[in-house]
Every structure is written in C-alpha cells, then in structure tokens.
Amino acid sequence: KSFTMSVGGYHFVTGSFTSHRSFLPDKEYGVALDNFVKGCSDMLIQNSKGQILTGKRNVHPQPDWWFVGGRMMPGESPGVSCSRLLKRELSLNVAADRFKPLCFNSMVWGMREQEPKANGTCDVNIVLTVQLSEEEASQIVLDPKEYTDSKWVAPEEMLEGSYHPALQCSVRSLLSAAKLSALQNAVGSGAEDRVVAALAKDLVGIAQTEPTLGESSYRVKNEELGYDGSVSVSKW
C-alpha cells in the first residue's frame, strides 16, 4: 500500500463518463498522432523465478526488445488496459487487479507505423508489473503481428545488457519496489535494526541510480526495417 501511494496508481473518474471511441482510418490516425501524446500501459511481466519477459518487436516505433503493452483506450484504468493488452498480445487472461504500478516515462520516437512514418510519435508510458504462475507462463502465445521472438531475462542481466534505457530505468523501479516491500515486511515483523538498516541502505542505493544522461550507447537496430536509431536521455 505504501509503495502504491508513493508512485500514484489510483484511477479517478469525475462525473459520468461513457467512452465514444471509434476506429480511425490510418490517415486520420496519423494526423491525430501529429497532434497529441498517447497514453500507453506497458508491463514488466515476471515469472516465478523473478525473470522478466521481453518481446522482440517487429514494428515501429521500437523494433527491438521492449515491454509487452500498448495504447490505452478512453476510460480504461491502466490495469484494465494491461489486462486487455495481455489477452491480445500473449493470449492470457489476467485480472486487472493483479497489476501493480511502478513508474512512468516520457517517450519521443522518430518513427511510427502509420504514414508518414518519419513523422514519429510521442507517448507517456505507465509501467506496471504482474507475476505469472508457471502455468500461465507456459500458455503464452505471441501475437505474430507484433513480435518475432520473446525471452525471459533476469533483471540484473537486463540492466547490464544492450536494452533501451527506458526499459532499464523501469527495471530499476521494479527492483526498488521489491526492496521496499522487503523493508516494509521487516519493519512489520519487528526485525532487528541492523536488518532494517541494511535493507534501507540497499533501497536508497537502487533508488539513487539514474540512467546516464546524453546519448546512450544503446541503439535501436532492425535490419529488416533498415532502421538504426540513437537514443538520447534527459531529465524533464
């Protein structure tokens, strides 16, 4: 509860709202993308071993290893959005209340799927996490229109490997959340002060680690799409 309060995670509905969304043809959707910032719900999905599922996307704007997730629909809470997207992209039925909030990122992309592709697109991605059972993990079926491959990666391996800085930043938030949970449990169970202090020190160490600002050593590369893009990181 305390962690949820520290990062937000509440869905506020003011007044009476009914969604009136409709399908937009690609041309109209492209014009819309030129004029607004999309809200996306993306997931750090963990298995029983604590490994994270990452998918190799075959479409813009990130045709490389990335979150499972996508655009939110009007009226959806992030958890409801994740539940819908998990069904669409991995063929899994996971209740919305199982998703826990982690962090959010501001994303600017140089490319997109809709024409004109080079106009790019901008997102705010809300990152949530969920842990799957072994049975659920064994039932994953990738959407071939979105992904060419997937793999389970240990958090530490993802932080040390060649992955998008936004993905790595979100993994650090996941590790911080796990350490905070351990700290809360230790305090709640009356653990010795030295145990509590060690956990608090570890938490501060993780939380204070920030991505390197400026141009990242990571590049988005996809030979099939003929794409090679740099990534720049800045504070707000």
Total Cβ atoms within 10 A of residue 9: 18
* Angle in degrees, CA 181, 183, 188, rounded to 5: 95
- pLDDT of 6 strictly over 80: no
- Residue 120's identity, in one-letter code, is G
* pLDDT tens readout for residues 166-186: 999 999 999 999 999 999 999
pTM across the whole model: 0.91
- pLDDT of 236 strictly over 80: no
- Strands in 10-146 per DSSP E: 38-46, 52-57, 65-66, 68-71, 100-109, 121-131
- pLDDT of 2 strictly over 80: no
Provide the mean pLDDT of the chain.
Answer: 93
- pLDDT of 7 strictly over 90: no
The confidence score (pLDDT) of residue 9 equals 78
Our CA dihedral for 185, 191, 196, 198, rounded to 10 degrees, sits at -110
* 217 phi, psi to nearest 5 deg: -75, -20
- pLDDT of 196 strictly over 50: yes
The proportion of the chain whose per-residue pLDDT surpasses 90, expressed as a percent, equals 89
Report the C-alpha gap between 41 and 26 in whole angstroms: 21
Query: Are 227 and 220 spatial neighbours (Cβ–Cβ below 8 Å)?
Result: yes
pLDDT level of residue 3 (50, 70, 90 thresholds): very low
The confidence score (pLDDT) of residue 4 equals 43
Structure token digits, residue 106: 């501001």
Instruction: Enumerate residues 6+ apart whose C-beta is below 8 A from 146.
Output: 55, 57, 58, 59, 89
Report the C-alpha gap between 60 and 156 in whole angstroms: 27
- Residue 190's identity, in one-letter code, is G
Among the ranges given (29-33, 153-157, 201-205), the one the predictor scored with the smallest mean pLDDT: 201-205
The confidence score (pLDDT) of residue 213 equals 93
Region 138-145: mean pLDDT is 94
* pLDDT tens readout for residues 69-115: 999 999 999 999 999 999 999 999 999 999 999 999 999 999 999 99
- pLDDT of 138 strictly over 50: yes
Report the C-alpha gap between 64 and 85 in whole angstroms: 19
- pLDDT of 212 strictly over 90: no
The confidence score (pLDDT) of residue 142 equals 93
